[in-house]
Amino acid sequence: MTTMERRVITPLPATSPDIGRWLWALEDARARTRRELEGLSQAELDWTHPDIGNAIGSLLYHIALIEADYLCVDMLGRDDYLDDLQPLFPVPDRDEEGRLTVVAGVPLAEHLARLDAVRERLLSVVSGMTDEQMANARQLPEWNYEISPAWTLHHLMQHEAQHRGEIGVLRLLFKGSAAGTP
């Protein structure tokens, strides 16, 4: 007899079950990304397709940086990243032309460690928030928007899912090319 798959949300530890469900969903999105990365070679990580332009390594760096940015700037109201996160991002997110910075030659383990470090800080901050804090929007007039931590978590899950799809396409294109060349 096979074990039945469970498709239920089990709240993570937080100040309320609602926040615990948000955190579970965030972690589910990350688990799906990690599964998409299983068996990834360094060649796949660094390869770019001329019609897409981003390498998987650049996308992983970008996912972590955007999560750190939303945590530190939008949720915590800081002008910079937390001291322990700053060294994880030695290059800016985008180049002078607005494209994602090329992040090549970085092992998958380093990308995963960066993602894990940022996520650990995010979980720590959000798990201690109240439902009211999660719903309370901060005004950011310099960016012309207001944002709540709940919306931020929704956005981070969507952002990661969109890039996870891009990673999947890049892996298929890499496998369909001769030795990773288009």
Query: CA separation (Å) from 154 to 67, 80, 85?
Result: 12, 22, 22
| CATH number 1.20.120.450 given to 41-176 | yes
Any alpha helices (H) in the chain, and if so which ranges? 17-37, 42-46, 56-69, 108-127, 131-135, 149-176
For residues 88-115, average pLDDT: 96
In this prediction, residue 173 carries a pLDDT of: 94
Enter the pTM of the model. 0.94
Quickly count: other Cβ atoms within 10 Å of residue 126's Cβ.
24
The per-residue pLDDT for range 140-177, each reduced to its tens digit, is 898 899 999 999 999 999 999 999 999 999 999 999 88
The span from the CA of 48 to the CA of 127, in Å, is 37
In this prediction, residue 180 carries a pLDDT of: 53
